[in-house]
Amino acid sequence: MNGPGTFNKYPALFSPIKIGGLELKNRIVMPPITTNFPDKGFVTDRLISYYARRAEGGAGLIIIEDAIIDPPRGCYHYEDIHIDNDVYLPGLRALASAVKSAGASVAANLSHGGRKSGVVEDGQLIRSHGTIPVAPSAIADPFPGYIVPSELTIDEIEELEEKFVSAAARACEAGFDVISLHAAHMYLIDQFLSPISNHRDDLYGGDLDGRMRFLLEIIAKVRARAGSVPLMVRIDGQQYMPGGITVEEASEIARRLEAAGVDCLSVSIDPTGLGFLPLDPSVPQAASSWRGPWAAMVHLAEAVKRAVSIPMMTANRIVTPALAEEILVHGKADLIGIGRGLIADPDWPAKALEGRETSIRHCIGCLRCLDVTRDREALRCTVNPAAGRENDSQINPSSRRRKVFVAGAGPAGMEAARVAASRGHEVRLFEKDTLGGQLKLASIPPGKKDLGLLLDYEMGQLACLGVNIEMHELTAETIVQGRPDAVVVAVGSLSGRLMVPGSESGNVFDIRQVLKGEVEPGKRVVIIGGDQAGAETAEYLAQKGRIVTIVHEGRQIAGDMSGVCRLELLERLRRLGVRTMVKTKVNMVSPEGVIVETRGERRTLSADTVVTALPPEPEGALAGQLRGMNVKVHVIGDCSKIAGLAGAIEDGFRAGLKV
């Protein structure tokens, strides 16, 4: 409901829509995203709280993460929901009830991994728990680590169809409003649909009639068993690989699905394309990073939508309510998937409806939520430490208003100030240099502008909460005079120092000086240190026409990054001609350049400018001065331990809850 004096700026986004016989209150849908919160297939209290919180925030439909219809053969994450047995019904029922009680409709997303269920790590077959996976054809997924699956027999295909039908009936019994079939992302149903993975020569292969038979038979049997329950199918709008599904074929698939009685379609893309592509930035990825354009897959939904009359959903980095409204107004889609956006801020819908869109804590596209789940960890969000920990992360008013001083207006300090002020404390925030600290600098390299969304959010919240920002250093004398109840020290880190002969020469600078624009590097630049900061600075300088070499003692460039973001960065460095040298030690800096040693061989790298990007060191001076003073001190962020942006935000959030 709109707040007093507000006007709905997004009438299309907040208009109701029907999926079959079910009316959704608005067009905002949370697509399925893996959390690893289930436990051995069972729904957990943590999972229920997580989804209920997103429903409370105002989404019209929550599509729960993939529910596996045939474990262990169909599992493709480390902790999936199982829906193959009545033993899981109590948890599924509690989950559906919690989401609906919180105000949203709820969908079960039925899936089977097929050939994606078998991955070898450290010599062991994981995810499918040692079971050889099955698929339409005995063709392994092209991404490294996947094994060759067993080709399904006709009897096994019919058995799997029945498992989908039983799962759908079980979801209805549990109280889910919508049944969604996952026929995208090269999981089992999509493996039947795609000519890349389906090489069968029987009635389940060959032309589109054969390749669609598995899915169409599932739909017919679900309709016969589950009646008029709204049915949704997620398909690939295009497969960006040789011989894959084209947008024209996706449109024909959509036509046939509508004719079969499907009530709604969701268009995505197949992320398996990452195994074929050199990470071409012009090609949308299934979960684009901060480097990718916003709404990169909308054109596919728009194209497929022309072929059908049923509602069409699009997703992928639709960051702002204004962008969502524009997509709907121009008829490119009927439903807007906000996945990572609702992880970052469950109240995204409510804030948009109430005219508070400037207070939305936007997803920055860092992909941490996906990377950690791929690494067998529970979902976490860089900008929202409460995601997945809703029960112990509530910001409640303090029983007593306290005076809190925060030293350092980087991400840790700003978050601590925000949370403390939200609890009713009087907060003074001190910064001697630049508001935003390392966050401000990190947003300078190419493609990092979305980090500015987080800085804008923090600054806006501090202004709304009345936090007093003072642009000078917090000293022990100020603390003695001000007599705060608590001090939060978040002064960040010092640049890592290069300790070799010649390191004090006039052509050696650190990356902070370069990113601040305090120095203008020469034509030939050697960057010493190849972690993320050094690698991104290399890209920044290479795009400005510098000839850049990265020298790194470690085994791999940007080794402190993971997943797609790292692969994208390495590909861009390659295209820019950045030379990288790993397992290489710097011996000295000379007037001619940098003398390095690799495998016992010494050489001189010509350089006009040397830029150091070495691991930073915690800044401990202020914390040391405060020891022994009669004040409660919380030391957080990089001045406590170097933990990057996610660690800084987490520290700040927790400190704000404690003061």
Q: Which residues are catalytic?
A: 187
Q: How far apart are CA 641 and CA 618, in angstroms?
A: 6
Helix (H, G, I), strand (E, B) or coil at 504: coil
Residues of the chain by 3-state class (helix, strand, coil), percent to 5: 35, 20, 45
Q: Say how far apart CA 445 and CA 325 lie, in whole Å.
A: 30
H, E, C per residue of 3-32: CCCCCCCCCCCCCCEEECCEEECCCEEECC
**Long-range pairs, 476-484, Cβ under 8 A, ≥24:** 476/622, 476/625, 476/626, 476/629, 478/405, 478/430, 479/405, 479/626, 479/629, 479/631, 480/629, 482/403, 482/405, 482/428, 483/403, 484/402, 484/403, 484/404, 484/405, 484/428, 484/631
d(CA 248, CA 233): 17
Contacts of residue 499, defined as CB under 8 A and 6 or more positions apart, other chains included, come to none
Question: Count H helices, E strands: the chain?
Answer: 20, 31
Q: Parallel, antiparallel, or unpaired: how do β-strands 617-618 and 493-494 relate?
A: antiparallel
Rounded Cα gap, residues 429 and 178, in angstroms: 48
Give phi and psi for 96, each to the nearest 5. -60, -40
Is 401 within 8 Å of 425 (Cβ atoms)?
Answer: yes
Q: Which residue in 444, 442, 436, 432 sits closest to 471, CA to CA?
A: 432
| Contact present, 636 and 658 (Cβ < 8 Å) | no
Contacts of 238 (CB under 8 A, 6+ apart): 244, 245, 246, 247, 250, 269, 300
Within 10 Å of residue 343's Cβ, how many Cβ atoms?
25
Can you tell me the distance from the alpha carbon of 570 to that of 405, in angstroms, rounded to the nearest whole number?
Answer: 41
